[in-house]
Structure 1
């Protein structure tokens, strides 16, 4: 996988982009993300008996049930043309020729017993070679045009080979890539170019993944939820596998066993909540609900971990409510009904909590018991029982809105 950064050398002039900036981690990162999301899309589209891998046989590969293999090289560029679109794939592009060079080396890999023409032809007969890039189609790329015409039997192999031999460059690396391809046996070279596929202008790879999810009979409003859960969990598993030295490769059966629940949940009418990772407020202890908890000693000024956990619960409750509303899974009346129900339950507890309390310590003890009791509750939203985290988040949210409190005199504090 290659990410084109556009860096030429380390010499800079005032007002220009430095070499460090031109090869920044962000530029490299987007290339890896492009590769990963293409792999995720392949996983979603696997069928029985198939498997897909990430950086195993190639950048991405798919093994089909009949033994056929699709090798994929992914090339992403952050360079744009005057219109702001990704640059075109030129006929002397390093991305293009490094890809063809890599495949030529795979075809002739003697460690895989492919050092003879018959074995190379056998390998090519069971393999397709896909170059996938966000680069655009170029009208001046006559070489690519010749390849496509050769595949359509509009040009002969001789014309194809002549087109390659006529390519001229002073770049020694590029010339070595071209020569390695030309060094293939003519029969092998012809078979190889018959089995190359070009997929250009694939820029929004995430949109492609979401389209694949939707085509698994997931309603539009649930696509993002399924995507987020798949993305998060597959990334986590990838990290664990890399750390353990395992290959990033899944069969259809493994993928379906591990992740089918996300698709089932996406088709369910039951509300599915996401544990969003929110940025936290600059001053956690300035939040109203935190002040209410401090008043009764439920937390102290040093309980940063607890306050962080409670804040995330509140933020996740608010975010999930809004996401469900935007998806059309609930309406504003459902949210108001939840708030009203919780406030009513709080009022019932509050009205009885302080009966017989005379001292401040007795008030504090009663308040803590009321808080403990309400924290145990799973509240209902439109018939769906909310998990404890979101139910607790609802309590903190209402407290932030100054709708409920814990101390007997919380309104005066």
Structure 2
């Protein structure tokens, strides 16, 4: 059994997942200090990068270990550390791939790790170079380290770095920083938040809201094939509400948006659903009114969530989930007896009249709901109804007992 556990542990991705989390939290730490005119990116140009106002770029590689030394601290960053030399070799590849002579002039390189330094000869040599500008000593050190290992992959990294021309190597070394012992990253983020607001009771809720919304935004943008980059201006606009931790309930702003009705109102899925249960009749003015309510809500919701970023992504998710849960609970209550009859062998076609009546009752119940978005006052009945019409138009909810089969085949 012990052997099986060891095999299982060898195939888990826990350490790798923590490494990705470390990169994200380091990104979050840097984002808190982002200035107007700057732009930060995650997994775009490197693990993290910052484009600065002067046209230069800082590339960050963030490396994490869960391995502890005998004192219980993260293991040392040794002279032959694979993460160290793989990172340097990758940056050399960036330099060689760029055909212009400006790449090194416009980029700085920072390796960040939670590993301890503990007399790393290469770091000592790098620091000496920054004082005396003698790159020959650095080349000798790289050659010396290359001769100390039998690892072919490491040898390849050493060789790649040492092949830089003298002028490029010197500029690379001048622009290179290695930051060790960068551990406790979450505590550092919370400290940074505290330093900005000096209210300890706000730190935890701000941290939770900001990390959740940054992470969700990252997921959605990368999933959509987009680059996850945030400018200083966008950071305040998209995530500023994370810092407004307050119990004040306020209304969302309303505007007059043009409502452009579709040509064929009765071809809309949500209208088909209402027609099928007999809640509305073909040609009724109610169809136009219901469509108007839905479009007014959708116009405002886009304005609140996308154009002006009044609403956080997590708030949107909570609002939608809560709305659907209200429908789920009432749907189950209304159709409990129908479900029992079907389970007892009744054909659904023989229960159609009862289903339609219950469907209308369900619609009427849902129309009485006055929904609210977290942090804001009630939407009002018109917008709440419009939201439910939109959900039914997207086939996320329905009114007929068999709505999932009845409409999703269309």
Smaller-chain TM-score range? 0.5 to 0.7
**TM-score of the superposition, structure 2-length normalised?**
0.60
Query: Any residues of structure 2 matched to 1:332-343 within 5 Å, and which?
Result: none
**Counterpart position of 1:24:** 12
Secondary structure of 2:58's partner? Answer: strand
Deviations 1:240-280 (A, max 9, x none): 111210001111111111111222x13x57499x98x9xxx
**Counterpart position of 2:37:** 49
Q: Root-mean-square deviation (CA), in Å?
A: 3.6
Query: Any residues of structure 2 matched to 1:287-306 within 5 Å, and which?
Result: none
* Deviation of 1:221 (Å): 0.7
**Counterpart position of 2:104:** 124
**Counterpart position of 2:180:** 200
* Deviation of 1:27 (Å): 1.5
Query: Any residues of structure 2 matched to 1:162-311 within 5 Å, and which?
Result: 162-167=140-145, 168-217=148-197, 219-263=199-243, 265-266=244-245, 268=246, 270=248
* Deviation of 1:113 (Å): 2.2
Return closer, same or farther for 1:257/1:377 CA change in 2, 3 Å cut-off: closer
**Counterpart position of 1:69:** 57
* Deviation of 1:217 (Å): 2.2
Deviations 1:213-261 (A, max 9, x none): 2233252110111111111112221121112100011111111111112
Which sections of structure 1, spanning at least 5 residues, go unmatched? 1-12, 278-293, 304-371, 379-384, 389-413
Return closer, same or farther for 1:70/1:17 CA change in 2, 3 Å cut-off: farther
Query: Any residues of structure 2 matched to 1:350-389 within 5 Å, and which?
Result: none
Return closer, same or farther for 1:107/1:376 CA change in 2, 3 Å cut-off: closer
Whole-Å Cα distance in 2 between the matches of residues 82 and 302 of structure 1? 62
**Counterpart position of 2:269:** none
* Deviation of 1:148 (Å): 1.1
Whole-Å Cα distance in 1 between the matches of residues 15 and 96 of structure 2? 32
Return closer, same or farther for 1:176/1:224 CA change in 2, 3 Å cut-off: same
Deviations 1:167-212 (A, max 9, x none): 1210000000010000100110111111111111112111122222
**Counterpart position of 1:156:** 134
Return closer, same or farther for 1:143/1:77 CA change in 2, 3 Å cut-off: same
Q: Which runs of 4+ in 1 moved over 3 A?
A: 13-17, 268-272, 298-303, 375-378, 385-388
* Deviation of 1:131 (Å): 0.4
* Deviation of 1:15 (Å): 5.1
Pairing 1:113–2:99 present = yes
Return closer, same or farther for 1:20/1:386 CA change in 2, 3 Å cut-off: same
Secondary structure of 2:164's partner? Answer: coil
* Deviation of 1:152 (Å): 2.4
* Deviation of 1:18 (Å): 2.8
Count of aligned pairs: 276
Whole-Å Cα distance in 2 between the matches of residues 142 and 81 of structure 1? 19
Secondary structure of 2:64's partner? Answer: strand
Whole-Å Cα distance in 2 between the matches of residues 271 and 171 of structure 1? 62
Contact 2:51 2:58 in 1 (8 A): yes
Whole-Å Cα distance in 2 between the matches of residues 65 and 159 of structure 1? 35
Contact 2:249 2:377 in 1 (8 A): no
Whole-Å Cα distance in 2 between the matches of residues 190 and 23 of structure 1? 42
**Counterpart position of 1:336:** none
**Counterpart position of 2:325:** none
* Deviation of 1:125 (Å): 1.9
Pairing 1:34–2:11 present = no
**Counterpart position of 2:326:** none
Larger helix fraction of residues: 2
Secondary structure of 1:216's partner? Answer: helix
Whole-Å Cα distance in 2 between the matches of residues 208 and 83 of structure 1? 22
Which sections of structure 2, spanning at least 5 residues, go unmatched? 251-313, 318-328, 338-365, 379-410
